[in-house]
Amino acid sequence: MMEYYQENIPDEYLILKEGQLYERIARAREKLGKSLVILGHHYQRDEVIQFADYTGDSYKLSRLASENTEAKYIVFCGVHFMAESANILAAGGQIVILPDIEAGCSMADMAHIDQVNECWEYLNGIAAGKIIPATYINSSAEIKAFCGKQGGAVCTSSNAAAVFKWAFSHAEKLLFFPDEHLGRNTAYYHLNIPLDEMVVWDPVKVNGGLSREEIEHARIILWKGFCSVHMQFNEQQIKSVRQTYPGIRVIVHPECTFEVVQSADESGSTEHIIKQVSNALDGTKWAVGTEIHLVNRLAKWNPGKLVICLSRISCLCATMFRISPERLLWILENLLQGKVVNRIEVSSEVRSYSKRALDRMLSIT
Ligand code: 13P
Ligand code: SF4
């Protein structure tokens, strides 16, 4: 794993009033002009995302990072793997900054490169030449580089089906990490692969807990990883909202379990969820199974519709929440003084292979 050093934000930023903060951020943005672009993921809080030049899901933001070659600084309001991907895709000389280095993703941390190498070696001892790897973008740069080296690709929740189809045009079996649920949902609902042709590799068990026969029979080997935010949604909540609000449509993120996606009316990336709810007629009702900041924003944007969170317990991504307006201001004011803090930079060796896997994704979709 790449090591990053987090600089401490000075106390003076932490005592600023909201109005002062917003005014200073706006002023700094204006002074930095075209040298700066701020990218914001849909799970960011309102106080932060209001300053984003572009917002999007992981796919849209990756594309923006690869196409926006003008700005010297890309400030990424999102989590670590997103900023790392932006750094890999950005033009040489562009500087990517994550306002809080500790804004990680617990799912991405569930697959370590050493575990992946061990798994790959074991699988190839059984089915050499028959397997292709693909990684969810929610993973480290080393894991993306592994996929690039082995002829595989990256995917996001919005293009997983296309990447899986591409993978099966190159190999008989697919090893997918780190999200077991996105993998199963994509394979079953978009590629019609039966559940008994999928196995789960548990990295903490000897040989992933799988026998030779299970691997020989499987078409998909899913990594045992998950998103703790999306695991909070369940079928009982869907039954309950349908009873309370007859006619309500349930839309969830594909990081939810297979059973939740099966009981919902539809599933898709954050960008897809926004489009579906925004394009629906006034008077419609929606229960949304994803991170609470996006759900609350959807409710605000759609006053003529009922938009509620599928869970009554607030489903917050704590690491996305680490990006605050105070940190954004601190980053920008440092840039004005010619100082870069919290830079995200992948080593050149990892970069070339991980770029290969990300570029494959961009060329497939
Ligand atoms: P999207 O690419 O759908 O925005 O998802 C990112 C993510 O981390 C969901 O938990
Ligand atoms: Fe990671 Fe889940 Fe947060 Fe998305 S919502 S960044 S998958 S922890």
Taking a C-beta distance cutoff of 8 angstroms, is the pair 271, 57 a contact?
yes
Q: Quick check: is 362 in a domain?
A: no
- Å from CA of 336 to ligand 2 middle: 31
Q: Where are the alpha helices (DSSP H) in 139-211?
A: 141-149, 160-168, 180-191
**Which amino acid type is present at position 28?**
A
Whose C-alpha lies nearest to ligand 2, atom 8?
Answer: 105
**Global pTM exceeds 0.85:** yes
- Residue 162 sits in the same domain as residue 234: no
Taking a C-beta distance cutoff of 8 angstroms, is the pair 7, 342 a contact?
yes
Q: Quick check: is 337 in a domain?
A: yes
Tell me the per-residue pLDDT of 229-265, one tens digit each, with 9 for 90 and over. 999 999 999 999 999 999 999 999 999 999 999 999 9
- The DSSP symbol for 224 reads S
Phi, psi of 54 (to 5 degrees): -135, 145
Q: How many CB atoms lie within 10 A of CB 250?
A: 23
- Å from CA of 355 to ligand 2 middle: 22
- Residue 218 sits in the same domain as residue 112: yes
Whose C-alpha lies nearest to ligand 2, atom 3?
Answer: 317
What is the pLDDT at residue 121? 97
Mutate to test the pocket of ligand 1, among 270, 291, 292 (most ligand atoms within 8 A of CB): 270
What is the pLDDT at residue 1? 55
Nearest Cα residue to 226 out of 103, 108, 350: 108
Residues with CB under 6 A from ligand 1: 42, 57-59, 138, 156-157, 227, 253, 255, 269-270
- Residue 31 sits in the same domain as residue 73: yes
Write out the E strands in the chain: 36-41, 54-56, 73-77, 95-97, 131-136, 153-155, 173-177, 198-201, 220-223, 249-252, 266-267, 285-289, 306-309
Instruction: Tell which of 309, 332, 356 closes a domain.
Output: 309
d(Cα 31, Cα 56) in Å, to the nearest integer?
A: 25
Positive or negative CA dihedral for 297, 301, 302, 304? positive
Q: Quick check: is 363 in a domain?
A: no
Beta pairing, strands 54-56 & 73-77: unpaired
Q: How many CB atoms lie within 10 A of CB 264?
A: 22
Q: How many residues does the chain have?
A: 365
- The DSSP symbol for 103 reads -
Q: Quick check: is 352 in a domain?
A: no
Domain boundaries, position 30: 11-104+319-346
Closest ligand to Cα 104? 2
Whose C-alpha lies nearest to ligand 2, atom 2?
Answer: 227
d(Cα 55, Cα 52) in Å, to the nearest integer?
A: 6
- Å from CA of 206 to ligand 1 middle: 31
Atom of ligand 1 at shortest distance to CA of 253?
Answer: 3
Closest ligand to Cα 227? 2
Q: Quick check: is 358 in a domain?
A: no
Mutate to test the pocket of ligand 2, among 85, 226, 229, 230 (most ligand atoms within 8 A of CB): 229
- Residue 294 sits in the same domain as residue 249: yes
- Residue 149 sits in the same domain as residue 170: yes
- Residue 72 sits in the same domain as residue 140: no
- Residue 223 sits in the same domain as residue 128: yes
End-to-end C-alpha distance for the chain, whole angstroms: 28
Atom of ligand 2 at shortest distance to CA of 81?
Answer: 6
- The DSSP symbol for 319 reads T
Taking a C-beta distance cutoff of 8 angstroms, is the pair 251, 206 a contact?
no
> What string of pLDDT tens digits covers the 365 residues of the chain?
566 777 899 999 999 999 999 999 999 999 999 999 999 999 999 999 999 999 999 999 999 999 988 999 999 999 999 999 999 999 889 999 999 999 999 999 999 999 999 999 999 999 999 999 999 999 999 999 999 999 999 999 999 999 999 999 999 999 999 999 999 999 999 999 999 999 999 999 999 999 999 999 999 999 999 999 999 999 999 999 999 999 999 999 999 999 999 999 999 999 999 999 999 999 999 999 999 999 999 999 999 999 999 999 889 999 999 999 999 999 999 999 999 999 999 999 999 999 999 999 999 98
Q: Quick check: is 1 in a domain?
A: no
- Residue 18 sits in the same domain as residue 83: yes
Closest ligand to Cα 108? 2
Total domain count, the chain: 3
**Which amino acid type is present at position 294?**
L
What is the pLDDT at residue 2? 62
- CATH label of the domain that carries residue 191: 3.40.50.10800
- Residue 68 sits in the same domain as residue 135: no
d(Cα 189, Cα 175) in Å, to the nearest integer?
A: 18
Atom of ligand 2 at shortest distance to CA of 179?
Answer: 7
- Residue 57 sits in the same domain as residue 74: yes
- Residue 117 sits in the same domain as residue 85: no
**Which amino acid type is present at position 32?**
L
Mutate to test the pocket of ligand 1, among 84, 85, 157 (most ligand atoms within 8 A of CB): 157
CA distances for 270 relative to 215, 239, 328, angstroms: 33, 23, 23
> What SS3 state is found at 96?
strand
Residue numbers belonging to the annotated binding site for [4Fe-4S] cluster? 105, 227, 317
Token output for 359: 């570029």
d(Cα 273, Cα 254) in Å, to the nearest integer?
A: 11
Beta bridge partners of 134: 153, 176
Q: Quick check: is 2 in a domain?
A: no
- Residue 224 sits in the same domain as residue 260: no
Phi, psi of 87 (to 5 degrees): -65, -40
Q: Quick check: is 208 in a domain?
A: yes
Residues with CB under 6 A from ligand 2: 79, 105-107, 138, 227-229, 255, 291, 317, 319-320
d(Cα 172, Cα 264) in Å, to the nearest integer?
A: 30
> What SS3 state is found at 24?
helix
